[in-house]
Amino acid sequence: MLALVQRVQSASVRVEGSTVGAIGPGVLALIGFERGDEASALPRVRDRLLGYRIFSDEAGRMNRSLLDTGGQLLLVSQFTLAADTRSGMRASFTPAAEPEQARILFDQLVAICREKLPAGVEIGQFGAHMEVSLVNDGPVTFLLRP
């Protein structure tokens, strides 16, 4: 399981010309699932997404989390994160989870994130061609693994 986490001033997802998810200040997390990923890892992923300290405190140090700041979370499923890019000039998607399994895991992740951040979780559209827009704040970007 991989999460590419970006601190944003704003972010949105459009599908076929319509906005399906949008947030103000917070975190955009692109989520990739790999073969063998299990639901038992989801609480740790949620805790890292919501608790990772990427927002500045009064001293300007990254010492505050999404939960501390009251920001929002935009979750976007992105199977290309699980690609094997170590050789050649074309990615191999063999490491990526099957779409059915990834959808189940993604839906479960959304549900448990909403339990802790009820009004602040937006999502893209699983399996759709999405246009993701963001204003990266910093820029601050981290690749998290559970």
Residues serving a catalytic function are: 78-80
Residue 53 phi, psi (nearest 5): -85, 95
Long-range residue pairs from 15-19, CB within 8 A, at least 24 positions apart, any chain = 15/124, 15/125, 15/128, 15/129, 15/130, 15/131, 16/128
**Could you give the CA distance from residue 46 to residue 82 in angstroms, rounded to a whole number?**
18
